[in-house]
Structure 1
Amino acid sequence: MATEQGPVRGTVTDGLRVTLGIPYAAPPFGAGRFRAPMPAPARDAVRDCTRFGPVAPQSAQLPGAPAWRAGQEDVLTLNVWSATDTSQPRPVLFWIHGGAYTFGSSAQPDYDGTALARAGLTVVTCNYRLGFEGFGRVPGFPDNRGLLDQIAALEWVRDNIAAFGGDPGNVTVAGQSAGGGSIACLMSSARAEGLFHRAIVHSVPDAFFPPEFAERLTRQVAEAAGVAPTADGLLRATPAALVDASDRVAARYADDPDSGFLHYDTVLYGPVLDGELLKRDPVDTPAVDAAAGPVDLLVCHTTEEYWLMHRVGSMPPVTTDDGLDRFAADYGLPQGLVAAYRALMPGAPVLDVFLALAGDAVFTVPTVRLAEAHARAGGRTFLSRFDRRRPRPDGEPVRAWHAADVPFALGTLDATGVDFLTGGPADAGDHALSRRMVDAWTAFAATGEPGWAPLTDPAAPAVHVWDVPDDRTEGASPAHALWHGTRMAPPSLP
């Protein structure tokens, strides 16, 4: 296949062409470190694109995915699943992976694009800079480099996807968690205007940081790395050193109950409200293209978001009433909200109340607020919730927790590592649900219609609920009204 940077060669199987590890920008190290992405070098030779490219610097090792190794620099690559018959342009779905803006990659098995490509889309997934390399604040260098990478990848799609049979005039961006938060940022930024036409966002985290938070965090990470918090000092620190320093700073917050909100959720990095790329909180900023008006938006969250964090031990459990009150204070939540959740869950253990409150605060409410703001601005908005739950033989329920919806929507239920997210091997009902979600995503990307009515009254939203054996429509949850006018306090560091 021909690209503007030079020819690439992938593999062909059963009518699909899979092209992996295509550079969309130059390696962001050396002279390009901490800078906006630079163009990928042109070449005449055919590039072998039969394997995923290296992942961005991180310490995570995820099932079935490659680990980052020091010295791997060509991390700004993307992957394309396309039909071998390119005579009829297909809608494009551009997937942005999650991972707390700190870990993950497009090489994760549950992000495989085969099912969506077989359903009729051209699918693109990409890597972008993470952690300090992507979102740390460096004096004299641009903020939000990870978002700038995503914009560069979308520009590559605009300029090259027609050669793969994709329609550059019909691009849908999709992502979950940090990927969904990234899309909220792209929707609100003029820099991404015109690069996509619809958006699918799942579980948007309320993790958009003021500059002073990012600056103070830079000082802490630099101190942990043994360098000055200046451009020269940070450039002297290797990527591995900054990954290690970030992990140690996060661990310190996790171990300190007096460290505020980061004690519960040690996500150090996220988009910075820098006044340039991001002028306002993107959750409340409608996505309006100056020429075309609002983009179409499909949002989803899960019923029990924060149970995943409890299951993997990424946050300390809150099991006492005093601890629950302290959590609310650390997050800037009104005391009345805690009492209201207790009333909604009579007799429930404190841990269950905490997980419901935390999941709504961090994921559910920002996701729904984005949908409501978009609808009020005149955008066609579709709201959904993932509620597939079931009992297990050991008595522990399979929960509709954070990220459980992703393999259903991408059609990757049988991928390596997915059984942890989904609570075990998929059964016939699960596969039927996955087909419905794949079909909804495909239809939305093609036509803007996922199969249910758009949101018409933000004050009383109708929600499409994904479930087994059948989907249903519900009104807002009882907790919805409790959050009216409530926002978490802006993050700060002790």
Structure 2
Amino acid sequence: MLFATTGGRVRGGPPVGDVVAVLGIPYARAPFGERRFRAPQPPPAWRGVRDCTAFGPISPQSAELSGAPVWRPGDEDILTVNVWAPERAGPLPVLFWIHGGAYTFGSSAEPGFDGAALARAGLVVVSCTFRIGFEGFGHVPGLPDNRGLLDQLAALRWVRDNIASFGGDPGNVTVAGHSSGAGAAVCLMTMEPAHGLLRRVIAHSVPAVFYAPELAAAVTARIAREAGVAPTAEGLLSLPPAALVAASDEVAARCGADPVTPVHAYESVIFQPVVDGEVLPAPPLQALASGAASDVDLLVCHAREEARFLHAVGGLREVTTEPELADLTAALDLPPEVLHGYRNLLPDAPVLDRYLALFGDARFAAYTSRLAEQHARAGGRAYASRFDRRRGPARPWHTADIPFAFGNLDAVGAEFLIGGRPDADDHALSARMRDAWAAFARTGDPGWPPLTATATPVRSWAVPDDHLASDEDSALGALWRDVPFAVQRPAAVGPGRRAGSCR
């Protein structure tokens, strides 16, 4: 099938069922050469019909994910979008997906992000590839920070200008993301240039970390030193992307013994959005609390046991003793009452279990919930949900909810995420989550009550049945109610801090 875009005509693959996939459409020029480390620029137009039946190249990274393409040096035309369009009369609501991966790895071409099932639910689904790692989020003196966010903004402009050709409604766009993709989504929600480009946001497991400029500069200094160049634009531009990927990976691998901040001794995520006062004027939580996005609807979700996944894949340092747990609490800059609270909530649990519960809530769950609460108090419409599906040894951990929401339980890699082959109850849960996403994108109402200034209803996704809970009076909610989430800044590792392996 042929579709008209501002760059020229494109051809998608043959319909599968009633859905056409159009893959690898350029939304900006290749961000290398003279355009490297700069804001994205519009793509050149083409003559004739461009074949768009395969994903474009992915962003520079070392990750090799199951079923997904890998990056090869020389792959440069990475700023592309993918569209799944149902063969039905429009205009239909648009769901714009931002993949996760610690702002460092991943791509829109991962099998679990195929948009066909959501398209069959009545959406036009768009995903995009954007700069990650140092190319997208590394600080380069004199050049813009948050280039990955600027890429996503450019992709949203492409949606505004082109999605009607695919049957989508440019006035009804929902930006959705998970983990770092959710962090990017709430950033876009509060950025002035994105105003009018999105109407709603779905954010699953939003990370709580945002960098001050001086911390971003400190990370760059470590990477430049590892690569043997000066931490200047000239020095960094002299390095090919593969060299920056390798230097970044080495700095992350050594973070346990040589952390940039105390918390880097526990997890090795060294790239985060930078609150630079320009691209990102304020941290999202502060912006939402001020009412900066009160006209944008928000749906959040977090997993009951977020950090179990990070521990299972070797992304967290091992903590098994009470002194180590106290050090972790200090590294997170949490008041002692939080540590005492988890002892009371889980009195018979091993230290490792309390550590994973505390870390997962600190990094994802409590922050995600706070975003929705503050948005509602500032006059926005917000809905909260929690992924709590358990079956046998399978746990409700970070990322397990995404195959359910996409309807891709049988995709490559999904079996590990969801803890085994799906059964009938799992497929029923997936249909409910998919319907909630589609309903929210259509109308702003996923099917349960919104938060208010005094009430926090939470949809708990589970098998065989879901239920509605109330979080405002829960012991866990009370424990986090007054804990601040601050922008992260550089800090020396103090006496008594125990460094260990992040891998």
TM-score (norm 1): 0.96
Q: Which residue of the partner structure matches residue 470 of structure 1?
A: 465
Q: Which residue of the partner structure matches residue 23 of structure 1?
A: 26
Which residue identity does 2:4 align to in structure 1? A
How far 1:258 moved relative to its partner? 9.6
Question: Which consecutive unaligned segments of at least 5 residues does structure 2 have?
Answer: 493-503
Question: For residues 359 and 249 of structure 1, what CA distance do their matches in structure 2 show?
Answer: 23
After superposition, residues 118-267 of structure 1 pair within 5 angstroms as 118-256=120-258, 260-267=262-269
Which residue identity does 2:403 align to in structure 1? P
Pick aligned residue for 1:480 from 473, 477, 481: 477
After superposition, residues 105-124 of structure 1 pair within 5 angstroms as 105-124=107-126
**TM-aligned CA distance change 1:185 to 1:449, over 3 Å:** same
1:423-446 CA-partner distances (Å, limit 9, x unpaired) = 010000000000000000001101
Which residue identity does 2:84 align to in structure 1? W
Which residue identity does 2:490 align to in structure 1? S
1:395-433 CA-partner distances (Å, limit 9, x unpaired) = xx2110000000000101000011000001000000000
**TM-aligned CA distance change 1:232 to 1:257, over 3 Å:** closer
Pair 1:55-2:58 in alignment: yes
Question: For residues 130 and 11 of structure 1, what CA distance do their matches in structure 2 show?
Answer: 28
Question: For residues 450 and 167 of structure 1, what CA distance do their matches in structure 2 show?
Answer: 19
The percentage of aligned residue pairs carrying the same residue is: 59
1:180-223 CA-partner distances (Å, limit 9, x unpaired) = 10011111110111101011000000121000000111111011
Question: For residues 88 and 315 of structure 1, what CA distance do their matches in structure 2 show?
Answer: 46
User: Is the contact made by 2:289 and 2:377 (CA closer than 8 Å) also made in structure 1?
Assistant: no
1:239-266 CA-partner distances (Å, limit 9, x unpaired) = 1000000000011113458961001111
Q: Which residue of the partner structure matches residue 320 of structure 1?
A: 321
Higher mean alpha-carbon deviation, 272-281 vs 91-100, is at: 272-281
Pair 1:454-2:450 in alignment: yes
1:221-245 CA-partner distances (Å, limit 9, x unpaired) = 0111111111110000111000000
User: Is the contact made by 1:288 and 1:294 (CA closer than 8 Å) also made in structure 2?
Assistant: no
Q: Which residue of the partner structure matches residue 496 of structure 2?
A: none
Aligned residue for 1:465, secondary structure, equals strand
User: Is the contact made by 1:187 and 1:287 (CA closer than 8 Å) also made in structure 2?
Assistant: no
How far 1:488 moved relative to its partner? 4.9
How far 1:284 moved relative to its partner? 2.7
Which residue identity does 1:350 align to in structure 2? V
Pick aligned residue for 1:432 from 428, 435, 457: 428
How far 1:278 moved relative to its partner? 1.4
User: Is the contact made by 2:28 and 2:79 (CA closer than 8 Å) also made in structure 1?
Assistant: yes
Which residue identity does 1:472 align to in structure 2? H
Q: Which 4+ stretches in 1 moved above 3 angstroms? A: 255-259, 287-290
Question: For residues 287 and 63 of structure 1, what CA distance do their matches in structure 2 show?
Answer: 39
**TM-aligned CA distance change 1:113 to 1:243, over 3 Å:** same
TM-score (norm 2): 0.94
Q: Which residue of the partner structure matches residue 360 of structure 1?
A: 361
Aligned residue for 1:7, secondary structure, equals strand
Q: Which residue of the partner structure matches residue 398 of structure 2?
A: 402
Question: For residues 439 and 250 of structure 1, what CA distance do their matches in structure 2 show?
Answer: 39
Which residue identity does 1:260 align to in structure 2? P
Count of aligned pairs: 486
Question: Which consecutive unaligned segments of at least 5 residues does structure 1 have?
Answer: 392-396
1:9-30 CA-partner distances (Å, limit 9, x unpaired) = 1112222111000000000000
Pick aligned residue for 1:4 from 3, 6, 12: 6
Aligned residue for 2:358, secondary structure, equals helix
How far 1:369 moved relative to its partner? 0.9
CA RMSD across the alignment: 1.5
